[in-house]
Structure 1
Amino acid sequence: MTLPTLFVPHGGGPCFFMDPNGGPPDPMWQPMQAYLAGLIDSLPEEPRAILLISGHWEEEQVTVHAGNGQPLLFDYYGFPEHTYRLRWDAPGSPDVAARVKELLEGAGFPVGEERERGWDHGVFIPMMVAVPGADIPLVQLSLRKDLNPADHIALGKALAPLRDEGVLIVGSGMSFHNLRTRGPQVTPVADEWDDALTAAVTDADPARRAARVAAWDQLPHAHFAHPREEHLLPLMVALGAGGEGPAVRDYRDHVMGWTVSGYRFG
């Protein structure tokens, strides 16, 4: 069975786990938490592994993590002490990591490999919600530091065979990511950006969809929504891997005045 590919929001820092007693997050984050919590049940079958591309890992050449990602990489700052003791102890998957490297090199991409880097919060924060039992192996893939959108779509296309091999491909970022602005005054502009991005992402023609999303910086308010686009680039990989199938927005909400969406391909 062919799995879809996903682009999901990973929230802000450890936003779902701010209560040291394990209580629910701030109400602002609860719809996003519910969306992430339902991801695995929404699939046609449980994946045997997850390949996750986070907006928090960039390398000169695309790099596959072939280790277990432990200890975690707490790459957020200024949060309560208990949020630096979170755990998500899922195993890695060396066979999937090797398959990722094989597919990308077969498509002409130089691929690095490493085993020591901890999984960053673009991995463990959404996965603690989506896979709380940490019982699905995970492989992380970096972005390429040049953040070239067309090349990241091509990376995704090269990875598409994984969808028929039981591997769920997840891009983890944020559809709006401007840390310098927040509040209700942002929402009208963020809504316009989100509407334009969604129209491009869900274009019914796959070739036109890819071209429109690759030209994301031509959309209204593009550089306001993303002063730097690392949180948008995981979307490119998920879109590329999604192939010729339909594309839908399956999540939309407002947090901190931002309009935030999630997308599903195939």
Structure 2
Amino acid sequence: MKDRGGLRGGGGFAKRCRHWARRRAFGVISGHWEERDFAVMASPNPSMIYDYSGFPEHTYRIKYAAPGSPQTAERVRVLIEGAGFPTHLDEQRGFDHGTFAPLAVIYPNADVPVLQLSLKRGYDPGDHIAVGRALAPLRDEGVLIVGSGLSYHNLREFGPGAKAASTAFDQWLQATLVTASPADRITRLIEWEAAPAARKAHPQEDHLLPL
């Protein structure tokens, strides 16, 4: 495992992601940013946001110096507003660890422009699914869309005791994404709280909604 400026990651996975360099930009939906309405990072040179506490000192020196992409941010804003959701550009927002933590490991070159998208306060799954559909054209425009989160995010119950709940929810999630029909997939995601161990895996759904 190699150290990537304070983060450790698997070299094999990073190699499989090298084709990302052919992308025009990365659009990351982070579970660590929520606003009243959807928001899009529009800074040409995003700063770093160390939105955690109690970690080793070196984790507050991590840098991910990728440029932003105001032009792509405006395109994202237009797409989301076209789906009926008020959206604003945020020229001050920097990279939180929902963005820099995974990208520093799997794409350390930091030479592809990156922009972040917020969640919408209230966590309505239907709204977030609708925005995902609205953003779909970006895939054909050279933008890689990254939903940054976890299938299990219960900070009070990490460890061996969490295995049963984590496994149950993860199996449901994989079946929903891989084997369910498109219509059933949407229904299951909207009604995700009915899944096995749903609220055990996600006491708050901020790390699920980026999906």
TM score, norm. by length of structure 1 = 0.74
Corresponding residue to 1:155 among 118, 121, 131:
131
Contact between 1:59 and 1:143, CA under 8 Å: does it hold in 2? yes
- Aligned partner of 1:78: which letter? G
Q: Aligned to 1:75, what secondary structure does the other structure show?
A: coil
Distance in 1 of aligned mates of 2:128 and 2:26: 18
- Aligned partner of 1:97: which letter? A
Corresponding residue to 1:51 among 27, 42, 53:
27
- Aligned partner of 1:218: which letter? A
CA displacement, residues 119-164 of structure 1 (integer Å, 9 cap, x when unaligned): 1000111111122111000111100011111110000000111011
Distance in 1 of aligned mates of 2:47 and 2:207: 23
Alignment of 1:41 with 2:14, yes or no, is: no
Q: 1:122 to 1:34 in 2, by over 3 A?
A: farther
Deviates more, 1:213-222 or 1:182-191: 182-191
Contact between 1:69 and 1:117, CA under 8 Å: does it hold in 2? no
CA displacement, residues 191-218 of structure 1 (integer Å, 9 cap, x when unaligned): 1111112111223421211111121100
CA displacement, residues 45-86 of structure 1 (integer Å, 9 cap, x when unaligned): 821101110000000000011104632000011111121111
Contact between 1:69 and 1:116, CA under 8 Å: does it hold in 2? no
Equivalent residue, structure 2, for 1:220 = 196
Distance in 1 of aligned mates of 2:15 and 2:85: 34
Distance in 1 of aligned mates of 2:19 and 2:28: 17
Corresponding residue to 1:84 among 52, 60, 75:
60
Corresponding residue to 1:171 among 130, 134, 147:
147
Which segments of structure 1 move beyond 3 Å, counting only runs of 4 or more?
Answer: none
Pairs within 5 Å for 1:61-140: 61-68=37-44, 70-140=46-116
CA displacement, residues 14-58 of structure 1 (integer Å, 9 cap, x when unaligned): xx85x98x6x84xxxx55x753x2453366x82110111000000
- Aligned partner of 1:114: which letter? D
Q: Aligned to 1:233, what secondary structure does the other structure show?
A: coil
Identity %: 49
Q: Aligned to 1:234, what secondary structure does the other structure show?
A: coil
Contact between 1:201 and 1:213, CA under 8 Å: does it hold in 2? no
TM score, norm. by length of structure 2 = 0.92
CA RMSD across the alignment: 2.0
Q: 1:202 to 1:69 in 2, by over 3 A?
A: farther
Contact between 2:151 and 2:169, CA under 8 Å: does it hold in 1? no
Equivalent residue, structure 2, for 1:259 = none
Distance in 1 of aligned mates of 2:36 and 2:94: 18
Corresponding residue to 2:168 among 192, 196, 207:
192
Equivalent residue, structure 1, for 2:158 = 182
Equivalent residue, structure 2, for 1:261 = none
Aligned length: 210
Q: 1:199 to 1:69 in 2, by over 3 A?
A: farther
Query: Gapped runs of 5+ residues in structure 2?
Result: none
